[in-house]
Structure 1
Amino acid sequence: MTRRYAYVGPGELHGLAPVGVGVVRGAADLDAWLAARDPRELAEPFTFVVDGGGVLRLAPRRSEHVACAGGGDVLAAGEMGFVRTAAGWRVDRVSNQSTGYCPDAAGSWPAVAAALTAAGTPHPGGFTDEVVFRRCTACAARNVVHDGDLVCAVCAAPLPEHWNLGLS
């Protein structure tokens, strides 16, 4: 079963218009989108989502994931970096870092791998940086868990052991 992640971030960001989004269905799409970037942008990872149709969408790093997704649910979200090789572009770093969608690493990686494979883009085979998200059951705050410390950063209540943010 492929998980779909609903947007769980701040409501005021939900209506943002997408800016500079590249839709990547193949290597030519990726090459064209990355070639249009300022070379300084290539040093940083880009915002990405895998949309509900399994297509990779990229945006400049400081873009909101929900805007990159056009406001819809996603199969994955995070940040992704690329390096140019003799054979073309390859992903050298990728994370599930998206505080707007808070995707579970294990549940979202298969969609990332499938989208990159469909686009003919080599990748590391898993997230190079995994972020652990939990919602506090006491105060409802979204938390990024650091070093396995399952304690809410807002109210100090214990956090659930398993991912518990909204599935759509």
Structure 2
Amino acid sequence: MVATGRRYRYVGPADVRASVGDFPEGAPIRSSVDLDAYLAAADPRDRDEPFTYVIDLGGTLRLAPRRSEHVACAGGGEVLGAGEIAFVGERDGWVVTEVSNQSTGYCPDPASWAAVADALDRAGVGRPEGFTAAVVFRRCLACGERNVVRDDDYICALCGAELPEDVEPRLTAQPPAVERLP
């Protein structure tokens, strides 16, 4: 099955992408049984903090320890969503307590929630109605830097230029050539 939704390609540092082969792809979570097994096998220190997640192009939730790179969790491929996620066990099964789209490697829009919600629903995992922390990303048109927009402040943290307030041009567009002075 190929899920629908906006695809996000990796836009982070090239050296991080190059290291993907050194790390395993994230564990697929298609059911609460998969989540039980993943959490039971996880290092106890990792269970107390959110996990790195991606939603692959088949619409499957993939999990990795928090200190993992999203691009490694995705096996280097495109994703429908990415961020961090935490769970708690309840009487009726697992429930998401925190979920964000915080991935500076993929910079997914808050609209990627639809793919995340669909993957969680299909896996039978309880969830909130939306991201508990939604992040807005923009690429600076002047210097090409990826930025997290905070408090509606659309100013590049690197060069001080104004950031586009709309989602186009996407972060997946190639940044402009920047001439460096000697």
Q: Same fold (TM over 0.5)?
A: yes
**TM value normalised by structure 2:** 0.87
The alignment status of 1:82 with 2:87, answered yes or no, reads yes
The alignment status of 1:165 with 2:171, answered yes or no, reads yes
Report if aligned partners of 2:26, 2:75 keep a CA contact under 8 Å in 1.
no
- For the aligned residue pairs, the C-alpha RMSD in angstroms reads 1.3
Q: After the TM superposition, which of the residue ranges 142-151 and 12-21 deviates more from structure 2?
A: 12-21
Q: Which letter maps to 1:58?
A: L
Q: Which letter maps to 1:166?
A: T
The alignment status of 1:105 with 2:115, answered yes or no, reads no
For residues 13-92 of structure 1, the aligned pairs below 5 Å read: 13-15=16-18, 16-17=20-21, 18-19=23-24, 21-92=26-97
SS of the equivalent of 2:55 reads strand
1:4 corresponds to which of 4, 7, 30:
7
Q: 1:98 to 1:118 in 2, by over 3 A?
A: same
The alignment status of 1:116 with 2:120, answered yes or no, reads yes
SS of the equivalent of 1:71 reads coil
Q: Which has the larger Rg?
A: 2
Name 2:130's counterpart in structure 1: 126
Supply the distance in 1 between the matched residues of 2:171 and 2:125 (Cα, whole angstroms).
30
Aligned length: 166
Report if aligned partners of 2:70, 2:103 keep a CA contact under 8 Å in 1.
yes
Q: For structure 2, which runs of at least 5 residues remain unmatched after alignment?
A: 174-182
Supply the distance in 1 between the matched residues of 2:164 and 2:32 (Cα, whole angstroms).
40
Supply the distance in 1 between the matched residues of 2:47 and 2:67 (Cα, whole angstroms).
13
TM superposition shift of 1:76:
0.1
State percent identity of aligned pairs.
Answer: 60
**TM value normalised by structure 1:** 0.94
TM superposition shift of 1:21:
2.6
